[in-house]
Chains A and B, each alone.
Chain A
Amino acid sequence: MLELKHVWKSYRVGALGSKRLTAVRDVSIDIAPGEVLSVVGESGSGKTTIGKMVLQLTSVTKGQILLDGEDVTARGHAARKAYYRRVQGVFQDPFSSYNPIFKADRIFETVRESYFADVKRAEWTARVEDVLQGVRLDPGSVLGKYPHQLSGGQLQRMLIARALLLDIKVLVADEIISMLDASTRIDVLNLLGELKERGLGVLFITHDLSLANYISERVVIMRHGAVVESGTTGKVFTDPRHPYSRNLLASVPQLHRKWSDSEAVPEKLEADGDRDLDPAPLTEVDEGHWVAAHP
């Protein structure tokens, strides 16, 4: 359904855009309906950039992004507006996603203004209450409030509800629970599971392997802007082939172990100087399990 084909992104940095920083190198991924695809990697690995390119918030330097076989990059405002009916996003920081001087439910109002101007007020209110209940929120306790009067979990759920008003096919979820406290994280995560059941494709961006394991059937591991390993969650987590993936797995804290008992020594990896090079080629080591060449 959603396909990224050999996508590259380089940012202009420095005075007059004199230098370039390659944030994403030759990434190809695809998401099917009813699937959660996790993109995992350390900070700076280009995960957010991928999400922003899918959401057309930043341009694609090279390559294609296809929705149902149709190239969606570099089009005009009207086409983009139509695209957002089908693809939406939720970001990391709930408090930055709301304009602090307006009431939080304004995010629904702007959707109505842009896409459903002819829907009657009463019907619209009913729809909003409907999607709010769909994300387990009590409309009475969140409508008419300012963002600072609501919790991070409530705000993130309202953003998911907003996306559902648009009848989307793909949701980009960029670290959407990393700023929530533990008790609400799992609820929001389970909500993504329900979206999957409804047939949505979810691009789940996280730096936390255990979350990827919990929610998704396929995972893509990134480093320095390139894919180092990808495949079904089961295969990648039980049989990681790339040293970076093994390091990531070893670094997940475990309930039954103290840090002092941990004897794993991280494997040596090349330093961050390879962004200007072409990424190491991927080879299929097992059915649907791809690994980048490594020393």
Chain B
Amino acid sequence: MSAEVVLQTEPVGRRNEHLYFALRNPKVAIGLSLVLALLLLGLIGPLFLSDSPNEYVGPKSEAPSGEYWFGTTYFGQDVFTQFVHGLRSSYLVGTLGGGISFVIGLAVGFTAGYRGGLVDEVLNMITNVVLVLPALAVLIVISSYLEVRGVVTQAVIIGIFSWPWVARAVRAQTFTLANRDYVDLARLTGKRSGQIIVREIMPNMASYLLMSMILLFGGAILFAAMLDFIGLGPANAVSLGTMMQQSMAWSSLHLGLWWWFVPPGLAITLIVGALYITNVGLDEVFNPKLREM
């Protein structure tokens, strides 16, 4: 009797189980919906609004109203249009910058951990060098030499600097997993190193990879906002960070133009906070011990 029950229930895949718990975890649900809602706004908003968010379209320093939902800036630009475009470039920076560092981090981490030996020592050295480089100082130098500072350039620079911690963690985990006998067994089946990494090792760290992807994404958004705020943002586009920087530069705080700096600041906080909550929730999903009873 009990044997039959075991037969029917146990072979349900662990992937499905994770998906089941993930969607029912309130932290994941709330975090993910927030991130997706703002993404949706950034994606479809610009389709209905002006293509040039820096245009002077209305009266100066106007409070929010039916016509200008988030009011206008000191120069008469529509804050909502800027906000929606800013969301879009923030997500772009997050995706591109996070994506680049994820790819570099994985490539370096897997190669070092799987190959070991001299390859590992060299890669480890490079990782440590990039890790201790004062990224901000380097970015300031690079930014002042680059002619065009677009969102993409910024994302690439951020991506090139934020991979080391992922590489280190992936390397450490690969070290352990690569010594399992099933890796040797895969080699005895004539599999190549690349296939072994993707099909035997990576699935065992899927949860970790998903979580670091989220953290890299949020980190890139935050880093970009900081660069924008100190004046190293894109020269040809609007981002949440440049909105903050502009509003501060024209003393919106003193002039009481709260509608100019609250939306971008709140959005950055919301995105990064929601990503963090999602991550905590995912941690509970992947580590059943953390699940609330």
Contact = CB atoms under 8 A, between A and B. Distances in A.
B10 interface: yes
A98 B190 contact: no
A16 interface: yes
Contact of A101 (B11, B118, B121, B203): B203
B117 interface: yes
Nearest to A80: B190
A174 to B, nearest CB: 9
Interface in B1-48: 10-11, 14
B11 A103 contact: yes
Given A12-B117, A89-B188, A96 B180 contact: yes
Interface string B198-239: 001001100000000000000000000000000000000000
A77 to B, nearest CB: 6
B181 A93 contact: yes
Q: Binding site of B, secondary structure by majority: helix, strand, loop or mixed?
A: helix
Given A57-B187, A89-B188, A115-B190, A15 B181 contact: no
Contacts, number: 63
A149 B10 contact: yes
B184 interface: yes
B188 A55 contact: yes
B157 interface: no
A88 to B, nearest CB: 6
B117 A15 contact: no
Given A114-B189, A115-B189, 8 more contacts: A12-B117, A52-B184, A84-B188, A89-B184, A89-B188, A110-B191, A114-B190, A149-B10
Given A12-B117, A96-B180, A110 B189 contact: yes
B181 A97 contact: yes
Interface of A: 12, 15-17, 52, 55, 57, 77, 80-81, 84, 88-89, 91-93, 96-103, 107, 110-111, 113-115, 144-146, 149, 159
A103 B182 CA distance: 13
B192 interface: yes
Given A15-B121, A81-B190, A84-B188, A99 B182 contact: yes
B186 interface: yes
Given A57-B184, A97-B182, A103-B11, A77 B118 contact: no
A144 B11 contact: yes
B185 interface: yes
Interface residues on B, range: 20 to 34
Nearest to A163: B188
14 contacts: A12-B117, A17-B117, A57-B184, A84-B188, A93-B181, A97-B181, A97-B185, A99-B204, A103-B11, A110-B186, A114-B191, A115-B189, A115-B190, A144-B11
A114 B10 CA distance: 29
Given A97-B181, A101-B203, A77 B11 contact: no
Contact of A96 (B181, B191, B200): B181
Contact of A98 (B182, B189, B191): B182
B199 to A, nearest CB: 9
Nearest to A16: B121
Given A91-B184, A103-B11, A146-B11, A111 B204 contact: no
A89 B183 CA distance: 13
Contact of A146 (B10, B118, B121): B10
